[in-house]
Amino acid sequence: MDNQNKRIVLVTGATGGLGTAMCKNLFENGYHVVGNYRNKEKAEKWKQKLAEEGYQIDIVEGDVCSFDSSKRMIEEIEKNFGTIDILVNNAGITRDGRLARMSHQDWNDVINTNLNSVFNCTRNVIEGMIDRKFGRIINISSVNGQRGQFGQTNYSAAKAGIHGFTKTLAMEVAKYGITVNTISPGYIATDMVMAVPEKVRDQIVAQIPVGRLGGTHEVAHLVAFLASDKTSFITGANYSINGGQHVY
């Protein structure tokens, strides 16, 4: 199928561990994948490397913390490639530390990148999806938004907020053929998790019944499942993918 007939998916924070796996999987599933980035040099190398592996991914610059930048980015995608059918709100950061020591900056950075970004991107695609009567919004939350995690008041608040957003938006747009779902990964082998001090990480892995960190490809598989045209009756859901670390 040429790009003309493919569904277009935008993955934010595409060059990270989870983002990369999602882009690859979605490409393999026949989508026209556009990956968002902030660091041009890193993104160009990333695109080149993926192309050498056979993955043709388009990239687009945009600061998802900014409403205006997100709007510009989405307009650019629509002009160059076409309208967005599937949005994966994946961009996220950590600034871990106990609240008693947390700076205002670390609070704001995490809320802006992990939660406000979901509004900034979704708000700029949702009217088009409503007009076209199709859409998939997939929000990447975390096990640490479902439960607490020592040192992550900022991250847990943002990630819990994401699922509140999912539930309400799912109700608002269900009648237009748009589904809105959350994925809550546990500890996945990404740079973000590897940045946790080894001793602390070992203690965390010991609490995972499956006995290991998750693979990025395992989360990507779930993203592709929810992106599919066939999952039109799944909306407002929160999919846990955490090796049994948090069951409730």
155 carries an active-site annotation: yes
165: contact with ligand CAA by CB under 6 A: no
* Paired tokens of 17: 């561990």
**Residue 66: phi, psi to the nearest 5?**
-105, 130
**Among 66, 83, 112, 149, contact with ligand CAA (rule: CB under 6 A):** 149
**Minimum CB distance to ligand CAA smaller for 135 or for 186:** 186
Q: Following DSSP, what letter does each residue of 8-62 receive, concatenated?
A: EEEETTTTSHHHHHHHHHHHHTT-EEEEEES-HHHHHHHHHHHHHTT---EEEE-
**Minimum CB distance to ligand CAA smaller for 63 or for 96:** 96
197: contact with ligand CAA by CB under 6 A: yes
**Among 31, 37, 134, 155, contact with ligand CAA (rule: CB under 6 A):** 155
151: contact with ligand CAA by CB under 6 A: yes
How many Cα neighbours within 13 Å face the side chain of 57?
37
91: contact with ligand CAA by CB under 6 A: no
83: contact with ligand CAA by CB under 6 A: no
Binding-site ranges for ligand CAA (CB under 6 A): 94, 96-98, 101, 142-144, 149-152, 155, 186-187, 192-193, 196-197, 200
Q: Return the active site residues.
A: 155
